[in-house]
Amino acid sequence: MIKIFNNLFVTFFYIGTVRYAPGTVASLITTIFLFSSFYILKLSNQLILVIFLIFLVYSFIAVSIYIKHSENKDPKEVVIDEVLGQSIPIITFEFSHQTGRNIEDAISFYFLFFIFFRLYDIFKPFPANYIDKNFKNSFGVIFDDLIAGLYVVLTFIIFMIIKSKFLI
């Protein structure tokens, strides 16, 4: 039973088993799921953050168990790392826009977060590439995607600073 739950978790309910671009599909579904959680279900930021943190902590355990007896230490079907990495810019955006949420702006930003996350996740700029190559364990599987999510946040912080200083 625990093995089935663990497989469901690391593959994000078997989304990771789709034939083409499982990481992209998982990121897209995460984006849609979080948009629905914030804007349709109107769940609180704090509840979503707690769920994210539980997923984050358990993901290190679950991925470690999943890859323990596998030759491939970063199997493509493990997409919980994409779920976590894609969640970082979205949750950060929602915490920074707690008052005056605008659904049209959110849709635009969520789309950009998705695109930028996929780019950073695919191209893995330093230190994500270093972690991906040198840590063949759950830390390496997960942390490069967390860094990609943080790069998205950093990109948009820089964009907002430039916009406020030069574009008024």
pLDDT classification of 34: cutoffs 50, 70, 90: very high
Angle between helices 80-96 and 45-67 (to 10 degrees): 160
Distance in angstroms (rounded) separating the CA atoms of residues 162 and 94: 21
Domain count across the chain? 1
Q: Are residues 82 and 145 in contact, defined by beta-carbon separation less than 8 angstroms?
A: yes
Q: Six-digit token pair at 128?
A: 């994500």
Instruction: List pLDDT tens digits, range 72-115.
Output: 777 889 999 999 999 999 999 999 877 667 888 899 999 999 99
Q: Are residues 8 and 18 in contact, defined by beta-carbon separation less than 8 angstroms?
A: no
What is the structure's pLDDT at 154?
Answer: 97
Range of the domain at 69: 2-167
Please list the helix, strand and coil fractions of the chain in percent, rounded to the nearest 5, in that order: 75, 0, 25
Q: What percent of the chain has pLDDT over 70?
A: 98
| C-alpha 131, offset from chain centre | 16
Q: Are residues 13 and 63 in contact, defined by beta-carbon separation less than 8 angstroms?
A: no
DSSP state of 165: I
Q: Six-digit token pair at 51?
A: 């769920």
